[in-house]
């Protein structure tokens, strides 16, 4: 298993990679900006020098032409025009000198300026010569061949400067094309790196954080559902590895604790159940033994029949108690369906009809202002209601009545069963395994524990209260919304019979 890294280290690595990507992008952007700025500056400089050289050449030829005509016509303002053109040409030479950035450019500008100075000296001699021979010079200046000979040296140096500037311009164009191609690739580099970084970050976060957290979440969900044998993989960043180790250790300790608790509860349950079993078996056995001792050879046939019937009833009672005990301890799982309280009470009352008629007991609906449907396992709840009504019938005097009620209290449904008997000789407690005492010939003493267990399995509440004026009232409260059944709830199968 590869060594895990801490979440801090992973985040720091990603932040550093992101920082380097930003620096690289900024560097490329800076180089591109500098290049374009430099290219633009060089282009403007070359354009400025080219324009200045052209202006010098144009002004020179205008100077030669215009001054020649002025001299030929003996114009008094010729000197002023000559001087104005000279100043303009000098200004453009200053622009050229300020714009040069290489030795070749300096030498070309100096050569052009020297050619102009030589040409200017020749012009000065023609314009200021007082001798008659100079009178022929203005006429010669009008000759194109003479003009080309006069400015030939200047033209040669001008062509050299123009050629140099042209080469520089072509170099700039070639460099621009080169950097344009490089820029196209340079723009894609940060994008490709960003995609790779994103993929790497996703892979690292998925493997080091997302999947381990999902495994921990699933493990916690399964543990909350009661699966303490679940284990999560110890992978991902260091912190999550440590958390997974702690989770697995906790699950292991909880599993051990649950096993110990189950063993402890089993021992406690057996400790509480054994005296009950012994008591409920010893009494019938003692009755059987005492009855058997009454039998002898001189026992009359009618008395033998009576004793035999007593033995059969005692054995049957013992069998019913054992069956009820097994049913009480049997694990179950409710299968809820929507059913109204009226239907459940009617079903239980129908089963009790023979006993009600025999004792003359009447079931009366005292308060019945609602009959909503609630989610309930009908068989289990009818069994519990049957046991509670059966206890009420046995507790009621002959010719008495049992009041049942159903009403809504907020978000709860309240069901009541009240008898007018002498009251209960003990106070039932939920969760107790010891059945209550019973004096009924057909009873088992497990009706109340079964009712407690069935109500608990449904998430309902049950309480036994001493009624005003005598008797006992059983109050069952059921939530109107479907309850969430406890995970540890063990419920009775449909085959349970009280």
Which CATH number do you get for residue 392?
A: 3.30.565.10
Asked if residue 306 and residue 337 are part of one domain, the reply reads: no
Asked if residue 414 and residue 325 are part of one domain, the reply reads: no
The 10 Å Cβ neighbour count of residue 218 is 12
Residue 67 has pLDDT above 70, yes or no: no
Mark which of 298, 329, 360 sits at the end of a domain.
329
199 within some domain: yes
Asked if residue 115 and residue 200 are part of one domain, the reply reads: yes
Mean confidence (pLDDT) of the chain: 76
Asked if residue 380 and residue 269 are part of one domain, the reply reads: no
CB distance 397 to 421 below 8 Å: yes
Across 2-16, 63-77, 455-469, the highest mean pLDDT is recorded for 455-469
> Could you read off the pLDDT of 281-297 as tens digits, one per residue?
666 676 676 666 666 65
Q: Which of 185-189, 235-239, 443-447 shows the lowest per-residue confidence on average (mean pLDDT)?
A: 443-447
DSSP state of 399: T
Asked if residue 187 and residue 256 are part of one domain, the reply reads: no
Split into its structural domains, the chain has a count of 3
Asked if residue 277 and residue 356 are part of one domain, the reply reads: no
154 within some domain: yes
217 within some domain: no
Residue 200: the pLDDT is: 80
287 within some domain: yes
- Indicate the pLDDT class of residue 76, thresholds 50, 70 and 90: low
Q: Which of 464, 369, 352 is nearest to 417 (CA)?
A: 464
Mark which of 279, 301, 329 sits at the end of a domain.
329
> Could you read off the pLDDT of 229-271 as tens digits, one per residue?
888 888 877 877 888 888 888 888 888 887 787 777 666 655 6
Asked if residue 335 and residue 272 are part of one domain, the reply reads: no
Q: Which of 16-20, 95-99, 160-164, 479-483 shows the lowest per-residue confidence on average (mean pLDDT)?
A: 479-483
13 within some domain: yes
Report, as an integer, the average pLDDT of 342-358: 87
- Indicate the pLDDT class of residue 273, thresholds 50, 70 and 90: low
The 10 Å Cβ neighbour count of residue 149 is 11
496 within some domain: no
- Indicate the pLDDT class of residue 131, thresholds 50, 70 and 90: very low
Report, as an integer, the average pLDDT of 424-440: 56
DSSP state of 126: H
Asked if residue 318 and residue 277 are part of one domain, the reply reads: yes
Asked if residue 337 and residue 294 are part of one domain, the reply reads: no
Query: What is the phi/psi pair of residue 150, to 5°?
Result: -65, -40
> Could you read off the pLDDT of 90-116 as tens digits, one per residue?
999 999 999 898 899 899 999 988 988
Asked if residue 195 and residue 179 are part of one domain, the reply reads: yes
Mark which of 329, 352, 382 sits at the end of a domain.
329
State which H helix or E strand residue 475 sits in: strand 472-479
Asked if residue 412 and residue 367 are part of one domain, the reply reads: yes
Asked if residue 69 and residue 176 are part of one domain, the reply reads: yes
109 within some domain: yes
Residue 487: the pLDDT is: 32
Task: Write the CATH number for 43.
Answer: 1.20.1330
> What residues make up the domain containing 306?
248-329
489 within some domain: no
């Amino acid at each position: 298993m590869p060594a895990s890294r801490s979440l801090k280290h992973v985040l720091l690595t990603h932040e550093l990679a992101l920082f380097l990507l930003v620096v690289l992008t900024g560097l490329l952007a800076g180089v591109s900006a500098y290049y374009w700025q430099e290219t633009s500056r060089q282009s403007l400089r070359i354009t400025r020098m080219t324009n200045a050289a052209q202006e010098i050449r144009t002004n020179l030829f205008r100077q030669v032409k215009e001054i020649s005509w002025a001299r030929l016509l003996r114009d008094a303002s010729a000197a002023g025009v000559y001087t104005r053109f000279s100043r303009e040409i000098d200004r453009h030479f200053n622009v050229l000198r300020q714009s040069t950035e290489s030795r070749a450019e300096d030498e070309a500008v100096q050569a052009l300026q020297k050619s102009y100075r030589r040409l200017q000296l020749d012009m000065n001699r023609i314009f200021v010569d007082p001798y008659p021979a100079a009178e022929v010079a203005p006429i010669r200046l009008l000759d194109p061949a003479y003009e080309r000979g006069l400015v030939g040296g200047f033209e040669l140096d001008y062509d050299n400067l123009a050629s140099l500037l042209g080469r520089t311009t072509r170099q700039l164009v070639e460099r621009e094309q080169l950097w344009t191609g490089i820029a196209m690739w340079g723009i894609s580099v940060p994008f490709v790196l960003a995609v790779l970084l994103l993929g790497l970050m996703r892979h690292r976060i998925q493997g080091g954080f997302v999947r381990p957290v999902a495994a921990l979440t699933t493990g916690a969900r399964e543990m909350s559902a009661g699966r303490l044998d679940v284990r999560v993989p110890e992978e991902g960043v260091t912190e999550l590895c440590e958390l997974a180790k702690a989770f697995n250790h906790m699950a292991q300790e909880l599993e051990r604790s649950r096993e110990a608790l189950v063993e402890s509860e089993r021992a406690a349950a057996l400790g509480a159940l054994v005296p009950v079993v012994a008591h409920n078996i010893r009494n019938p056995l003692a009755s059987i033994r005492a009855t058997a001792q009454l039998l002898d050879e001189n026992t009359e046939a009618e008395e033998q029949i009576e004793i035999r019937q007593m033995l059969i009833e005692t054995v049957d009672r013992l069998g019913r108690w054992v069956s009820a005990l097994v049913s009480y301890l049997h694990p179950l799982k409710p299968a809820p369906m929507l059913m109204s309280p009226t239907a459940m009470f009617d079903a239980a009352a129908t089963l009790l009809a023979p006993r009600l008629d025999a004792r003359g007991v009447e079931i009366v609906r005292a308060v019945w202002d609602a009959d909503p449907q609630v989610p309930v396992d009908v068989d289990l709840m009818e069994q519990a209601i049957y046991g509670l009504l059966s206890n009420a019938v046995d507790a009621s005097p002959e010719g008495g009545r049992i009041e049942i009620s159903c009403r809504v209290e907020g978000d709860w449904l309240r069901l009541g069963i009240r008898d007018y008997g002498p009251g209960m000789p003990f106070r039932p407690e939920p969760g107790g395994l010891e059945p209550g005492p019973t004096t009924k010939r057909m009873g088992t003493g497990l009706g109340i524990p079964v009712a407690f267990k069935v109500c608990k399995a449904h998430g309902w509440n049950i309480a036994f209260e001493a009624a005003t004026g005598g008797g006992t009232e059983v109050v069952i409260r059921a939530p109107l919304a479907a309850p969430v059944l406890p995970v540890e709830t063990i419920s009775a199968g449909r085959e349970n019979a009280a």
